[in-house]
Chains A and B, each alone.
Chain A
Amino acid sequence: MSKGILYDATKCIGCKQCEQACAAENGLPYDDKVAAQEVTSAHKYTVVLAKEDKFMRRLCMNCDDPACASVCPVGAMKKTALGPVTYDKGKCMGCRYCMAACPFGVPKYEWDKAIPAVRKCIMCSKRVVEGKQTACGEICPTGATLFGDRDTLLEEAKKRIHDNPDTYLHHIFGENEVGGTSVMLLSSVPFNQFGYRADLTERALPMYTYQVLSRIPDFVPLFGTMLGGIYWITHRRQDVAESEAQENEPKGGAR
């Protein structure tokens, strides 16, 4: 059963305990200075944004069919069956295609290190494997961040919108975006106010490249044969011309 996170912005009080728990879980420093930073980075995997009395979390969406895992030439990024999209530093060669391809701009880089790695929320993969909740879901005092089965959470999100149609936007962000994501968001204000793109396609992004790449195995023998055939014909023509020239002039041509 694929796990997921449902974040309901209307229940969030902006206490930032999820940020702190996330830092602790991932062994990252957390103090007032880090708390004040309003962007995710190589040392801050999730952030609670505030606009007046409205809040919104940013974290890796852990897509169902992630662009980062699709583009990684060495398979360092992986979508696990349980939901988390994990990263293996031992495989990574640092091409940063994952960063360029991610529609949410999630993967961050350790730019200041001589031996850098990609950093992002991996939905507490280790804890999830052990059957535990993510650190952010466990600590949340108001239930704004819920961890559970994605299908159950999706039903819950639909129910909340149905029961309180005036409170919520009628849009579960992550239900269909880029083919669906493990992390889903509910809000009363448009998501793009907090930097989420409003124009995202509902198609899984890897299909855009795969529809070209998947044709290569068919293309290679066809194109190879065509090139070989052109070579054969153009050089055959030359051989014929040369032998004809030799017949006409028994002493031979330039050769």
Chain B
Amino acid sequence: MTVPRMRFTFWKAVFLVIMVAGIYCSFIRFFHGLGASTNLSDQFPWGIWIGFDVMCGVMLAAGGFTLTAAVEIFNIKRFHSIIRPTILTAFLGYVLVCAALMYDLGLPWNIWHPLIMRNPHSVMFEVAYCVMFYTTVLALEFSPIVLEHFNLQKPLRIVRSVMVVFVILGVLLSTLHQSSLGTLYLIMPNKLHPFWYSPLLPVFFFLSAISVGLAMTIFESSMSSKYFGREIELPIIRDLGRVLVVVLALYGILKFEDLLHRNVLHLVFVSSYEQRFFLLEIFLSVLIPLGMLLVPKILESAQGLYLAAVLCLLGFVTNRLNVAITGVENAVGGRYTPKWTEVVITAMFVALGFAIFGLAAKYLPIFPEEKARLPVATHHPEVQVSQLAVSAHAGD
């Protein structure tokens, strides 16, 4: 038990350093402007705050709607025990995306403008509305966890009775804006490199969001088993791995067909700046994880699944960064690398994500069923609440 305690202390120190640096960078950003705090320019109006914090943030939060759809709509009961961490991740993800957007917007205090100044022809307008509504839906989907913690039975019953509407709304809104983040780039046919510019961009963004949702759930389950001493639900994450194989295969085949029919497949074999990044993305996101998960031994092992999931996540993060940055570099004639302040702010949001997840998992009934069963949990004061939560949870 001493080893994980040491690790926690180390990560706490890392967290503090990042937060202090983050506050300093926030000061630069809001008092000296985007020019002082970023390497953005007239050629590169969008950098990693859009490419990573927003685009990858939304993508990494896709586990929420993927698992909600599987459990609540398709009624796949065996995934029920892992749905809460995915909703927590999604809710956290979206709140952090909105916070990160406040850094990237030139005039963040005008963020509410789309509410009254509407341009329905704008993809950004649609994304803004979907993200706004979906964050609200996620708050409602998350609310039973908090209500259970404080044992508020009446509001809990009310929320539960209307939950199915929010579940359907949540899946619908996610489908729309996950794909719409790809649609954003459809207006740049002459700017985005043909590896990434495709009329199917919205479809690719949607399929990759589902892949990432699954991979992220595997990642979370593995991480929380490591840090909260929970037993890993191997049969469950193995099933997730199987679904991931199918979705990745679909994505890979569609990607191949798309490149083929747009007559750009040969570019994959011609050395270029974009080609290297494209190959990196395809190998990390699809080819290696797919190859790994097709080996029964790897699919049956927790470490194998974890590794495949992490590679898949890195691959699709590369994909989003390629669309947002690599793919437009040659068209605008220049290279963009983020300034240190941009990296620090991004690291701050990632660190906040991990920290808040850890706190929520500690104090709220995120893993109720598991915690109650484990003897390790008996010396925690919150175990009574957890057991209470189990009884409440059994009803839904």
Q: Is B175 interfacial (CB-CB < 8 Å)?
A: yes
Q: Is A216 interfacial (CB-CB < 8 Å)?
A: yes
Q: Which residues of A contact B171 (CB under 8 A)?
A: 227
* Chain B 1-40: CB-based contact to A (< 8 A → 1; otherwise 0): 0000000000000000000000000000011111110001
Total residue contacts A-B, CB cutoff 8 A: 161
Q: Is the CB of B119 within 8 A of A74?
A: yes
Compute how far the CA of A187 lies from the CA of B181 in the bound complex, rounded to whole angstroms.
Answer: 39
* Chain A 189-228: CB-based contact to B (< 8 A → 1; otherwise 0): 0000000010111000110111011001001100110011
Q: Is A5 interfacial (CB-CB < 8 Å)?
A: no
Q: Is A99 interfacial (CB-CB < 8 Å)?
A: yes
A43 CB to nearest B CB, Å: 12
Compute how far the CA of A208 lies from the CA of B184 in the bound complex, rounded to whole angstroms.
Answer: 10
Q: Which of A15-23, A105-113, A124-132, A141-149 forms contacts with chain B? A: A105-113
Q: Is the CB of A224 within 8 A of B172?
A: yes
Contact of B114 among A73, A103, A114 (CB under 8 A): A73
- Which B residues between 95 and 126 are near A, CB-CB below 8 angstroms? 104-108, 110-111, 113-114, 117-126
With A74-B114, A93-B107, A230-B74 already in contact, the answer to whether A112 and B35 are too (CB < 8 A) is yes
With A93-B107, A115-B107 already in contact, the answer to whether A212 and B121 are too (CB < 8 A) is no
Q: Is the CB of B107 within 8 A of A113?
A: no
Q: Is the CB of B106 within 8 A of A116?
A: yes
* Chain A 75-100: CB-based contact to B (< 8 A → 1; otherwise 0): 11000000000000001111111011
- Can you name the residue of chain B whose Cβ is closest to the Cβ of A221? B172
Q: Is the CB of B111 within 8 A of A93?
A: yes
Contact of A201 among B35, B40, B107, B189 (CB under 8 A): B189
Compute how far the CA of A218 lies from the CA of B117 in the bound complex, rounded to whole angstroms.
Answer: 23
Contact of B110 among A94, A97, A197 (CB under 8 A): A94
B280 CB to nearest A CB, Å: 23
Q: Is the CB of A109 within 8 A of B36?
A: no
Q: Is the CB of B113 within 8 A of A197?
A: no
Q: Is the CB of B45 within 8 A of A96?
A: yes
Compute how far the CA of A117 lies from the CA of B74 in the bound complex, rounded to whole angstroms.
Answer: 48
- Can you name the residue of chain A whose Cβ is closest to the Cβ of B74? A234
Q: Is B332 interfacial (CB-CB < 8 Å)?
A: yes
Extra contacts, 17 of them, besides A116-B33, A227-B172 (Cβ < 8 A), are A42-B42, A72-B119, A73-B125, A74-B114, A75-B119, A93-B111, A99-B42, A109-B106, A111-B41, A113-B33, A113-B35, A210-B121, A213-B183, A216-B176, A227-B73, A231-B164, A234-B75
Hey, which bits of chain B sit against chain A, CB under 8 A?
30-36, 40-43, 45-46, 69, 72-75, 104-108, 110-111, 113-114, 117-126, 128, 164, 167-168, 171-172, 175-176, 183-184, 186-191, 202, 328, 332
The 4 closest A-B pairs by CB, nearest first: A94-B106, A111-B35, A234-B75, A99-B45
7 CB contacts below 8 A, A to B, read A73-B122, A75-B117, A108-B42, A111-B42, A112-B33, A209-B187, A220-B172
